[in-house]
Amino acid sequence: MLRVEGLKKSYKDFEVLKGIDFEVPKGCIYGFLGKNGAGKTTTMNILTGLIGFNGGNVFYDGKSFKDNKRSILSMIGYVPQDPVFYGYMNAYEYLKFIGGLSGMVELDIKRRSEEVLSIVGLKEAAKRKVGGYSGGMLQRFAIAVALFNRPKMLFLDEPTSSLDPQGRMEILSLIKELKEQGITVFFSTHILNDIERVCDQVTILDKGVVLVSDELKALKDKYIKPIYDIELEEPCEEVAAKIKSLEWVQNVVCHNTMMSVYVSDIEASKTKLLGIMADSGAAVISYSLRKSDLEDIFIRLVNSDENL
């Protein structure tokens, strides 16, 4: 669907994007993750044609963005981070304006307005002035506007960051619905939980560089390693040495009576570790499995810790 190659963008001497590459397959939900100032918004503004770029290439369905800008723009929708509308219009009027710009005919505009407003659940408020909408309503209306001319791909820049938990869930389930309708969704966020909930693929961006870009599952398999935290009554050096020699144990960190066991094979550890502990005769006070999540991966990656 979308391929980005060596994309670069600078503001004066400040290089915001230092040559990023990634590929978004058709029909997936693509998470774009990064800290504040990582360059997420900049990337999305480029991909939606609002600002130019200084180097690299962008391809939609194999077609170069530079040469086919208008036709490509007509098949994508963008929900910017802080959407702004003509506040003196009501939802119908604004959609009519957008429909007119997109070259839709009157009848289609009417039908589509009803459709998108019910998708985002704004039908009741549709006759009110957009200027009086709450933050969550604006966000939802922005999605309605972006969806209006039936784009094949939708970009959402931090769609959930200004919403309360319920609003976030609503947007996330909306994103899932869009995927079912065959729309490719690309959304940026710094809320890892959102990514874990809905994304198929993730790219982590930091300081204008892509750290990883992979399927969420592969990412988890690759980076998430289970750790057992075991507390003993006695200092644990002896037991630790014994466990360390096991084939499926990667490392054991020992600190007084606390021991952290890094395992490489979760299945083996589940069935065997407890038995080995019991056989060793050590008095175990507590035993728990710490599951590292995307958050850990993210933090470890952006802190450029190679020893994952």
Ligand X SMILES: Nc1ncnc2c1ncn2[C@@H]1O[C@H](COP(=O)(O)OP(=O)(O)OP(=O)(O)O)[C@@H](O)[C@H]1O
Window of 40-48, 69-77, 114-122, 292-300 that interacts with ligand X by CB under 6 A: 40-48
Q: What is the distance between the alpha carbons of residues 26 and 47, in angstroms, rounded to a whole number?
A: 16
Please name every residue paired with 184 in a beta bridge, in sequence order, or none if there are none: 153
| Window 99 to 158, contacts with ligand X (CB under 6 A) | none
Sole binder of ligand X in the list 38, 126, 138, 146 (CB under 6 A)? 38
Rounded to a whole number, what is the distance in angstroms from the first to the last CA of the chain? 32
Residue 125 phi/psi, 5-degree rounding, is -90, 5
The residue among 42 and 201 lying less far from ligand X, judged by its C-beta, is 42
Q: Which of 177, 135, 172, 134 is nearest to 156 (CA)?
A: 172
- 226 and 269 in contact (C-beta within 8 Å)? yes
What is the signed CA dihedral for 129, 134, 136, 138, rounded to 10 degrees? 30
The residue among 16 and 273 lying less far from ligand X, judged by its C-beta, is 16
- Minimum CB–partner distance for residue 98 and other proteins (Å): 6
Binding at 39: pick from Mg ion, ligand X, other proteins, none (beta carbon under 5-8 Å per type)? ligand X
| Window 65 to 84, contacts with ligand X (CB under 6 A) | 81
- Minimum CB–partner distance for residue 41 and Mg ion (Å): 3
- Minimum CB–partner distance for residue 185 and other proteins (Å): 16
- Minimum CB–partner distance for residue 78 and ligand X (Å): 14
Query: If binding is defined by CB under 6 A, does position 48 make contact with ligand X?
Result: no
Sole binder of Mg ion in the list 4, 33, 34, 41 (CB under 5 A)? 41
What are the angstrom distances between the C-alpha of 137 and each of 38, 124, 126, 186, 277?
27, 11, 10, 21, 55
- 49 and 57 in contact (C-beta within 8 Å)? no
Q: Within a 10 A sphere around the Cβ of 79, how many other Cβ atoms?
A: 24
The binding site for other proteins (CB under 8 A) comprises: 45, 48-51, 70, 73-74, 76-78, 80, 82-86, 88-89, 93, 97-98, 100-103, 142, 145-146, 148-149
Residues forming contacts to ligand X in the complex (CB under 6 A) are 11, 14, 16, 34, 36-42, 81, 190
